[in-house]
Amino acid sequence: MRIGINMFCPKCHGKFDHVQTPMGVIERCRSCGGLWFDVLEHADHKVIAKAIDTGDKELGALYNDTRDIHCPVCVNTRMLKMTDSAQTHIQFESCPGCHGRFYDAGEFADFAQLTISDVLKRVGILKK
């Protein structure tokens, strides 16, 4: 994370606020509520997801289709569209350079919650 450097949202270009969490400092967009993680550690995401992913899910869904974006850290590096293998409805962006991740408002809270239907889809009982 780049404390002291102004970072802007790759989707709406709003200014990021620094948010202290048990996982370290993350960035949250003041405008669209999207979240930037420098590196997403394997921690109990449920503990912090609802506290930090406070953006409007409907607004996040609108920005989810915005794909040609650049990393807010690497600036000129185009981010990759990723799909969570356990929850294929979750599509986030990841930087191939610094490995940071961007989640639209509502996506990280959804990512942190593995539902019974997600499990059934994973084992092939329900269609994806």
Considering the chain, what percentage of its residues have pLDDT values greater than 70?
A: 78
Backbone angles phi, psi at 109, to 5 degrees: -60, -40
Residue 4 falls inside a structural domain: no
Query: Containing domain of residue 71, as a range?
Result: 16-122
Question: For the chain, what is the domain count?
Answer: 1
Q: Which amino acid is at 61?
A: A
Query: Can you tell me the distance from the alpha carbon of 108 to that of 32, in angstroms, rounded to the nearest whole number?
Result: 14
Residue 11 falls inside a structural domain: no
Residue 2 falls inside a structural domain: no
Residue 41 falls inside a structural domain: yes
pTM beyond 0.75:
yes
Residue 3 falls inside a structural domain: no
What average pLDDT does the chain have? 81
- Nearby residues of 109 by Cβ (< 8 Å), 6 or more positions away: 49, 50, 53
* Residue 40 or 120, more confident: 40
Residue 68 falls inside a structural domain: yes
Residue 128 falls inside a structural domain: no
Please state the rounded mean pLDDT for residues 105-115: 81
- Nearby residues of 25 by Cβ (< 8 Å), 6 or more positions away: 1, 3, 18, 19
* Residue 32 or 114, more confident: 32
Q: Indicate the pLDDT class of residue 1, thresholds 50, 70 and 90.
A: very low
Three-state SS letters, 69-104 = CECCCCCCCECEEEECCCCCCCEEEECCCCCCEEEC
Residue 113 falls inside a structural domain: yes
